[in-house]
A and B are shown apart, each in its own frame.
Chain A
Amino acid sequence: MKNIIYTGLLALGLFSCELADKEFNASSGSADFTKTVVVGDSYLAGYMDNALYAEGQENGIGGILSKQLSAVGNTLNKLPLIEAGKSIGSMQNGKYVLQIVDGELSPVPTEGDVSLLSDQSKWVNADVPFANVSVPGAKAIHLVSPLLGDPTLGEGNFNPFYSRYASMPGTSTVVEDALVNEPRFFVYWAGINDVLDYASNGGVGSESGLEPGDITSTDAFAESVNGAIAMLSANNTMGVVANIPDISKMPFFTTVPYNALVLTSEQAQGLNDYYEQVLDYNNNAELLGLPTITFVEGPNTFVIEDATYPLQIRQMNATEKVLLSAQSEIASWPAGQVLPLTDEVVLTDSELKSIADATTAFNAIIKTAASNLALADMNTWFNSLVETGLLVDGNLYTTTFVSGNVFSLDGLHPSMKGAALFANEFIKAINTKYNANIPSADVNNQPGIVFP
């Protein structure tokens, strides 16, 4: 009798003790990811919170991609890491952290470890080759130029982020350093800084040039991108390339509204008196048939400097952008005074048009150059992210500054969670083009921005 019961229980037990586990079936499709290099600018370097630091590098777009591609055989993931606990930004600052300043949450720069860049004994040139050779601040035109990392040009004339790990500073180029790895696959994303450098400086540079602050000339851009991709894809090396999103929709350009000039009634009255009695602004405006300015209590449209305007200053249009950097300019106004915003912290409609036109032209060049490669359409994807946000595993990611969780505290570069969103767009494009099955990164499990 007992035997029957035991037999019955045993039969039940044998049915299945192991819980089924539907494992991810990674596959490299028609591509070879065994040696993958990452070539680009701040975005692929993992520059975030306006600085380069180890956690950001590892959790940046490039770092995440190297890691995810290891599931399909990638063996290269060496980053030119900043020493743990240190950080350095482009203005000698350290990484930004959130703090409460005057009762409000604000990104505040920490102290930068300047010697990481200025002291050549702290450079890591001996450790080449690196799998990720992306350079913060670099434009597409820089990635094929040996001048980028040439310290003999003197401070301010070279990019020490590259010099610190270049195989031969002043001689090697970023793209050449990538090729030292003998890559079988490459990730190339450059061109954002070719428009962003102009935009983040308020459009004071040229709409077509090669100097800092300029939008890169279309010819130079085409030559650089075509050259870089030709070099990287030699020997039938496959790769993924991304285009340029609409940078004017990044929080650096969208966080301060055009009408965020909040005045008390006394301030408004004082300004009206000043504009009438000292500047005689409205009479002059009427004579020229231009709009007059009247300040009121509450929110007002900012007045900006505009050298192209007959009266030199004017109120902004609602479509124009106040840069995040305007906040520190406003904070530096003498107590009680309200000044026009300078050209450096504003993008006017014509400057925005230059940015949009260049972006369109550059993206056409990128599309042609990538015709045999996977192309991540960041431009289309970023527009939808801006419009609707992206719901990922129970959290809605948006481009709202800080709280949206996509952008880091500089408002221009993605946070560690945001970087995973961008990385997943690369992965999608690779999977589609090469019929591969690369696992996407788990966005929610990336470290978040720490609130005080």
Chain B
Amino acid sequence: MMRYLSLIVVSSVMLTSKAEGYQVNLQGQKNTAMGHTGTGLVNGASAIHFNPGALSMMENSYDFSAGASFVMSTVNFNKAGSNYSAQTNSPVGTPFYFYGAAKLNDSWAVGLSVTTPYGNGLSWEKDWDGRYLIQDITLRSFFIQPTVSYQINEKLGIGAGAMIVAGSVDLNKALPITGANGEASTNLNGTATAFGYNLGIFYQASEKFSLGLNYRSEVTMTMEGGDATFSNIPNSLMGQFANTTFDSELPLPANLTLGLGYQLGDKLTLAADFQYVFWSTYEELVFEFASETIPTSVNPREYKNTMIYRVGAEYALSEKFDIMAGAYYDQTPIEDHLLNPETPGANKVGLSCGFTFRANEKLSIDASMLYIKGLEREGGYEPANFYGTYNSQAFIPGIGVNYAF
């Protein structure tokens, strides 16, 4: 397991935050195409993430699926009271997933997933006006989740997974000190591993109606001995800015999701998910430095719990094709006076569509397209007195492959 883990970390994909806060809800192309629903559906191996309770209900003996999305996002900032504006030039994020599941017998199923449900990748220009708050940030997380699922009876399944999490953060910000080679800056870079769990229960209430409840626990990423390095410090100030290490902590919040599924006729499946995100755990971001000349940096966050409302539909067009569509509304956990260019959140509307193409009985290909619009938001980060209007949007095409038998 550890070898696998290090391989993934080395591959170092860049994630771009696409749900609110620094959550990334792109854990299955089919789900994404349906507004990222699925907690109340029997939907193949992605149940490992969406609802381990539904895994034991899967139809095939073996189910493997893998996929990736390509997040192209832009944030626009117009400073309050000024004609200054800036736009992010963030690299394309590529969150991915892998699921493998096997049915051991009529009652038991096991599975393993690798997902990237939290991350952030945002690059402002190095010399932009908010550079003392943030220049760029890359937050990565990899969740590896071995899972077991048990079918209590034909209608009821339960499941549990252990989440093993590896994460890293890498951020740059400028310092208001000018030397012969321009402004100084600092880089904070650290890694962490942590653990959590994922519980699910699935109930097929009737032939047409199903529902599921999923709880993914909070994971606290504790960084110890991260590297704080300084660049471009003028010689005369070197003594005050020697490279040092830092400790910090970032919570990945818990999620409680209620999912509903309804079969309308032979061909149409409807789904709705209500995802409650326990963001209020994120009260502040603190960097404590080993060096005594660098004061502890305390950054209030005070996130609020949020609800995401999701609906989706799937229509069996032909033997070979299913088409999907969905929409969701994602509330921001960030208050107006703590709106920070590092995570410039907004209430977001997501619109998605996609298709499944069955090449043969075993192999299918899923494709999705998600458009996210961040509703225009005026606010600012009070502790830095940095105010303005943010607009954001993202185009996220995704492709996945599914092999089941």
Binding site for B on A (CB under 8 A): 1, 4-5, 8-9, 12-13, 15-16, 19-24, 26, 71, 98, 100, 105, 391-395, 405, 439-442, 444-445, 447-452
9 tightest Cβ-Cβ pairs between the two chains A and B: A394-B132, A448-B178, A451-B234, A24-B83, A394-B384, A391-B385, A439-B83, A22-B389, A20-B391
Choose among B76, B237, B325, B351 the residue that contacts A21 (Cβ–Cβ < 8 A).
B76
**Is A1 touching B317 in the complex (CB atoms < 8 A)?**
yes
Please, which residues of chain A bring their CB within 8 A of the CB of B129? 393, 442, 444-445
* 25 A-B pairs (CB sep. < 8 Å): A1-B318, A8-B323, A8-B325, A9-B369, A12-B371, A13-B371, A16-B373, A16-B393, A19-B74, A20-B76, A21-B391, A22-B376, A22-B391, A393-B79, A393-B129, A393-B130, A393-B384, A394-B131, A405-B176, A440-B82, A444-B131, A444-B176, A445-B127, A448-B176, A449-B178
Choose among A8, A24, A392, A450 the residue that contacts B179 (Cβ–Cβ < 8 A).
A450
Given the known interface contacts A8-B325, A23-B78, A393-B129, the answer about A451 and B351 at a Cβ–Cβ threshold of 8 Å is no
**Is A447 touching B178 in the complex (CB atoms < 8 A)?**
yes
Q: Is B294 an interface residue (CB 8 A)?
A: no
CA distance A5 to B318 in the complex (A): 14
Number of interface residues of B (CB under 8 A): 46
Please, which residues of chain B bring their CB within 8 A of the CB of A440? 81-82
With A405-B176, A450-B179 already in contact, 7 other A-B pairs whose C-beta atoms are closer than 8 Å: A12-B351, A20-B76, A394-B132, A394-B133, A442-B129, A445-B84, A452-B179
**Is A442 touching B391 in the complex (CB atoms < 8 A)?**
no
Chain A proximity mask over B358-395: 1 for CB below 8 Å, otherwise 0: 00000000000101010010100000111001011100
Please, which residues of chain A bring their CB within 8 A of the CB of B371? 12-13, 15
Q: Is B183 an interface residue (CB 8 A)?
A: yes
Within 8 A of A (CB), among B73-101: 74, 76, 78-79, 81-85, 87
**Is A395 touching B393 in the complex (CB atoms < 8 A)?**
no
Q: Is B353 an interface residue (CB 8 A)?
A: yes
Given the known interface contacts A12-B353, A451-B179, the answer about A395 and B82 at a Cβ–Cβ threshold of 8 Å is no
CA distance A445 to B183 in the complex (A): 11
Q: Is B309 an interface residue (CB 8 A)?
A: no
Give B22 Cβ to nearest chain A Cβ, in Å.
Answer: 20
CA distance A440 to B83 in the complex (A): 8
Please, which residues of chain B bring their CB within 8 A of the CB of A26? 83
Chain A proximity mask over B303-335: 1 for CB below 8 Å, otherwise 0: 000000000000001100101010000000000
Please, which residues of chain B bring their CB within 8 A of the CB of A22? 78, 376, 378, 389, 391
Please, which residues of chain A bring their CB within 8 A of the CB of B391? 19-22
Please, which residues of chain A bring their CB within 8 A of the CB of B318? 1
Please, which residues of chain B bring their CB within 8 A of the CB of A24? 78, 81-83
Given the known interface contacts A16-B373, A391-B385, A451-B177, the answer about A105 and B236 at a Cβ–Cβ threshold of 8 Å is yes
Choose among B81, B132, B385, B389 the residue that contacts A439 (Cβ–Cβ < 8 A).
B81
Given the known interface contacts A9-B353, A444-B131, A451-B234, the answer about A19 and B323 at a Cβ–Cβ threshold of 8 Å is no
Closest to B388 in A: A22
Give B134 Cβ to nearest chain A Cβ, in Å.
Answer: 9
CA distance A318 to B385 in the complex (A): 35
Please, which residues of chain B bring their CB within 8 A of the CB of A13? 371
Within 8 A of A (CB), among B170-185: 176-180, 183
Please, which residues of chain A bring their CB within 8 A of the CB of B153? none
Give A451 Cβ to nearest chain B Cβ, in Å.
Answer: 4
Given the known interface contacts A442-B79, A444-B129, the answer about A19 and B393 at a Cβ–Cβ threshold of 8 Å is yes
Chain A proximity mask over B246-270: 1 for CB below 8 Å, otherwise 0: 0000000000000000000000000
Choose among A100, A442, A450 the residue that contacts B178 (Cβ–Cβ < 8 A).
A450
CA distance A450 to B353 in the complex (A): 54
Please, which residues of chain A bring their CB within 8 A of the CB of B87? 19
Closest to B353 in A: A8
Closest to B84 in A: A442
Most buried by B among A12, A16, A26, A444: A444
CA distance A383 to B81 in the complex (A): 23
CA distance A105 to B235 in the complex (A): 11
Most buried by A among B82, B177, B179, B325: B82
